[in-house]
Amino acid sequence: MAAKKKRKYFYDYSLLFAVIFITGFGMIMMYSASGYSAQSQMNDAMYFLRHQAVFAAGGLVAMLIVSVIDYHLTAIFSKILYIVAWLLIVATMVIGVASHGSARWIRLGGVRFQPSEIMKIAVIVLLSYLITHYGYQINNGRTWWKVALVGIAPGIVVAATNLSTAMIILGITFFMMWIASKKYWPFVLCGVAGVLVYIFAYPMAKLLSALNILQDYQLTRIFAWKDPASYSDETFQTLQGLYAIGSGGIFGKGLGESVQKFLMPEAQNDMIFTIICEELGLFGAISLILIYVFIIYRLFDIARNARDLYGSMLVIGILCHISLQVILNIGVATNTIPNTGVTLPFVSYGGTSLILLMAEIGLALSVSRQIRLEDPT
């Protein structure tokens, strides 16, 4: 009698090590970009590095803990997480801390964080649960809208103060619903509409300005993107970033040798990709992009082989989140799209973003742990 095939389970160590590597790389580049400003402003060149190291350590712990917890438990708390995220969004509107022209932050117990980052995870988890719960009923028009509003509603509300995060929330919702639904034409129409909005952004911004729909700083970003010469003050950071990219050449000036970081405000945040281009050149930029491609590929592979639909949709949501954030950040750095204030995942300075992104990776690793592999021996 033939021996029974043994069952063993998979754990995606390649994804784990890729995330640890890119986080470590991000800390090196963040220190290179922030050392001068930290010394001049805080009298401590390692101020931002030390804080980022704490965030990275917390994120690593969160990632490892979440990775060994059964991901199905998130379905139980999906609605609670979503409600809490909404309460925090509303609280931000009332007692939010202003930063860069809008109240995006909230301070609780001495800790400052962005509730909109929590909303991204809440939307991914609840959408995954509802798509799994309704199954084929998702193709029914009424059910489709009921589920889609989980992401559309917060996206619209968040857009008032944080357009970049709203774009990511709506983008996650768009792709998750597209994958879950059999109907393709509504998504094709949305895609065409998105392309038209991109092409005609300038006249549309003027129309929105006349209708008082968007805030002044959001409209100014669009105007400055299309006509930077007329908005030299608003485009200062963008122009310095383009100078940095152009001066980096093929192999860059060398680690720590950036000139634009002395001129660019908060280079360690949204524009850190331009410093990478300047110091490591086109070679460094492409290498970083390839690491992101590898992470996205590993997430795709986990989603494709997930044990069930819920696990697959969770990882698809995480994949969409990271992909959109990378594309938007690099698009802003190269002035392909208006400045939206999106961080570069695992690389830019920022505690809330880093910890929650690593927790999402932990969730993807939890899904990978339940992928069964057959041992032919």
Instruction: List, as one string, the DSSP characters of 192-243.
Output: HHHHHHHHTHHHHHHHHHHHT-S-HHHHHHHHHHH-GGG-TTTTHHHHHHHH
Percent of the chain exceeding pLDDT 90 equals 48
Angstrom distances, CA of residue 285 to CA of 29, 248, 289, 334: 12, 10, 6, 12
Q: Is the pLDDT of residue 303 over 60?
A: yes
- DSSP β-bridge partners for residue 352: none
What's the pLDDT score for residue 213? 65
Residue found by looking up tokens 């991000």 in the block: 26
User: How many DSSP H helices and E strands does the chain contain?
Assistant: 14, 5
What's the pLDDT score for residue 376? 43
The predicted model gives 313-337 an average pLDDT of: 93
Instruction: Give the confidence band of 321 by pLDDT, cuts at 50, 70, 90.
Output: very high
The predicted model gives 151-162 an average pLDDT of: 87
373 or 244, higher pLDDT: 244
The predicted model gives 229-235 an average pLDDT of: 69
pLDDT digits (tens, 9 = 90+) for 274-284: 999 999 999 99
What's the pLDDT score for residue 243? 86
pLDDT digits (tens, 9 = 90+) for 173-209: 999 999 998 877 778 888 888 888 777 777 777 777 6
Closest CA to 154 of 76, 84, 71: 84
What's the pLDDT score for residue 42? 84
Contact 270, 350 (CB under 8 A): no
Which two three-digit tokens encode residue 302?
């986990």
Contact 264, 244 (CB under 8 A): yes
pLDDT digits (tens, 9 = 90+) for 122-153: 999 999 999 999 988 988 888 999 999 999 99
Hey, what amino acid is at 61? V
Contact 264, 241 (CB under 8 A): yes
CA–CA–CA angle 7, 11, 15 (5° rounding)? 155
Q: Is the pLDDT of residue 101 over 60?
A: no
Q: Is the pLDDT of residue 1 over 50?
A: no
9 or 1, higher pLDDT: 9
Percent of the chain exceeding pLDDT 70 equals 87
Q: CA 244 to CA 252: how far, in whole Å? A: 10
Angstrom distances, CA of residue 283 to CA of 249, 251, 328: 9, 6, 20
Contact 347, 49 (CB under 8 A): no
